Amino acid sequence: MLEGKKILLGVTGSIAAYKSLLLVRQLVRAGAEVRVVMTQAAKDFVTPLSLSTLSRKPVLSELFQEDSWANHVMLGRWADLMLIAPLSCNTLGKMAGGLCDNLLLATYLSATCPVAVAPAMDEDMWKHPSTGNNLQKLISFGNRVIPVQKGELASGLYGEGRMAEPEAIVEYIDKWFFSRKDLSGKKALITAGPTYEAIDPVRFIGNHSSGKMGAAIAGELAARGAEVELIMGPSQLQVEIPHVQVTRVVSTRQMYEAALQKFPQADITVMSAAVADYRPVETSGDKIKKTDATLTLQLTRTEDILRTLGGQKKKGQLLVGFALENKQEREYALEKLRSKNADIMVLNSLQDEGAGFGHDTNKITIFEKDGTEQTYQTKPKQQVAQDIVDRIVNMLYA
Ligand code: CTP
């Protein structure tokens, strides 16, 4: 299944490095050509000799060795995929921050191929907010994070953070990098993040949307072969994903205009943006001064982008909307599906823990226009994106 694929395996300092031996063996057995780059710290856990024996190639770890220089640029170009397994907390932080103090990091920064990482750490480290932020950053670079597993950890404790088993890693990369190009030739349009409506030059009406869900969907569609246009509101998220063209907007009007312009070419449109429903009737050119005890703002409805696109939808175009609700969730989601002429409506309930704005996880129910309805567990947003795209593909080729 991985016949002839060139895989550059990065091994970092973690107890789980012992699994990299099995991983190399399984990759080679599946037909891949494997080259290993390891960090200095990884050598405390597994020897270069074992890795070079199994990969049948010299293992690299130094940027400079006596009078020779390891060509990290060529290594990154040689590979069809760079797989970093195990990914330690330290290397994760360096990757997110763009640091380059060893060959593995230099190769990562210069790699032109897709990158997948399999983190491995103790549960407390895994749950630390900086780990979440760093992983989110990697996802925004277009890297794929192979989910960790629950189980016995190096600390002796039981919990989340265990590196995926070698078989699961091989299966994952085969599925996501080499087999599933089921959207090649398709064009996708995504809206993501919040929109801001100016009150005056310094204030606005906005919301807490981070844009993470939309960026994850864009990444997923691109990984499966689609050319993606992402229209992103003012979120902090930096999105640099291969095959994802990003247009930055601020207001609903700007998002509406950009979406309308790109919609006719799109086979798949996903409106995950949390669009402001109202804007001030007037925007003050000057900063509003604190003169009166009360201040009344008159608001007017913004354009409903999804509804407009639903009205313009042609045969063969697939339209997906999101509904964020905190009561009568099912009823409202179904009403939005129907009234906005969408094909799929993804419901987030504010009642669910770990769902909605700001979280790295989400819990969704997917409603389809033929009455199909499916509720999923709380999962990382990248996996939620996979579930959504699976339903899209299923409907597209039904
Ligand atoms: N949406 C949109 N343009 C708007 C408002 C919403 O395109 N002006 C889209 C969202 O991107 C989402 C869907 O419509 O895909 C539903 O958004 P939501 O805010 O839940 O629904 P609203 O129609 O705004 O209804 P309400 O806020 O009253 O629940």
Q: Residues 345, 351, 356, 357: is their CA dihedral positive or negative?
A: positive
Report whether residue 192 contacts ligand 1, using a CB cutoff of 6 Å: no
Q: Ramachandran region of residue 84, left (φ > 0), alpha (ψ -120 to 50) or beta?
A: beta
Q: Residue with the nearest Cα to atom 28 of ligand 1?
A: 277
What is the number of H-type helices and E-type strands within the chain? 13, 23
Kindly state the percentage of the chain with pLDDT values over 90. 78
Residue 68 is predicted with a pLDDT of 61
Q: Residue with the nearest Cα to atom 18 of ligand 1?
A: 323
Report whether residue 323 contacts ligand 1, using a CB cutoff of 6 Å: yes
Q: pLDDT by residue (tens digit) across 17-71? A: 999 999 999 999 999 999 999 999 999 999 999 999 999 999 999 887 656 666 8
Residue 294 is predicted with a pLDDT of 95
Topology at the third CATH level for domain 187-396: Rossmann fold (3.40.50)
Under the banding of pLDDT at 50, 70 and 90, the label for residue 241 is confident
Residue 175 is predicted with a pLDDT of 74
Give the distance (Å) from ligand 1 centre to CA of residue 306.
7
Q: pLDDT by residue (tens digit) across 149-197? A: 888 888 788 888 999 999 999 988 987 778 778 899 999 999 999 999 9
Give the distance (Å) from ligand 1 centre to CA of residue 90.
41
Nearest C-alpha neighbor of 369 from the set 338, 323, 335 = 338
Q: pLDDT by residue (tens digit) across 284-315? A: 999 999 999 999 999 999 999 999 999 999 99
Q: Which CATH number fits domain 6-178: 2.60.40.10, 3.30.565.10, 3.40.50.1950, 1.10.10.10?
A: 3.40.50.1950
Whole-number Å distance between alpha carbons of 50 and 16? 15
Whole-number Å distance between alpha carbons of 360 and 9? 27
Report whether residue 55 contacts ligand 1, using a CB cutoff of 6 Å: no
Sketch the domain layout of the chain as residue ranges.
Answer: 6-178, 187-396
Kindly state the percentage of the chain with pLDDT values over 70. 98
Report whether residue 321 contacts ligand 1, using a CB cutoff of 6 Å: yes
Q: pLDDT by residue (tens digit) across 318-363? A: 999 999 998 999 999 999 999 999 999 999 988 788 777 777 888 9
**3-state DSSP helix/strand/coil percent for the chain, to nearest 5?**
35, 25, 40
Whole-number Å distance between alpha carbons of 158 and 195? 42
Residue 69 is predicted with a pLDDT of 65
Q: pLDDT by residue (tens digit) across 77-134? A: 899 999 999 999 999 999 999 999 999 999 999 999 999 999 999 999 999 999 999 9
Q: 176 φ, ψ to 5°?
A: -95, -20
Find the range with the poorest average confidence among 151-160, 202-211, 385-394.
151-160
Q: Residues 377, 182, 28, 82: is their CA dihedral positive or negative?
A: negative
Report whether residue 305 contacts ligand 1, using a CB cutoff of 6 Å: yes
Q: How far is CA 172 from CA 74, 128, 147, 151, 168, in A?
A: 25, 25, 10, 19, 6
* Mean pLDDT, the chain, whole residue set: 93
Q: Residue with the nearest Cα to atom 8 of ligand 1?
A: 304
Give the distance (Å) from ligand 1 centre to CA of residue 281.
19
Do the domains at 6-178 and 187-396 have one common CATH topology?
Answer: yes
Report whether residue 302 contacts ligand 1, using a CB cutoff of 6 Å: yes
Using the atom order of ligand 1, give the atom closest to the CA of residue 332: 29
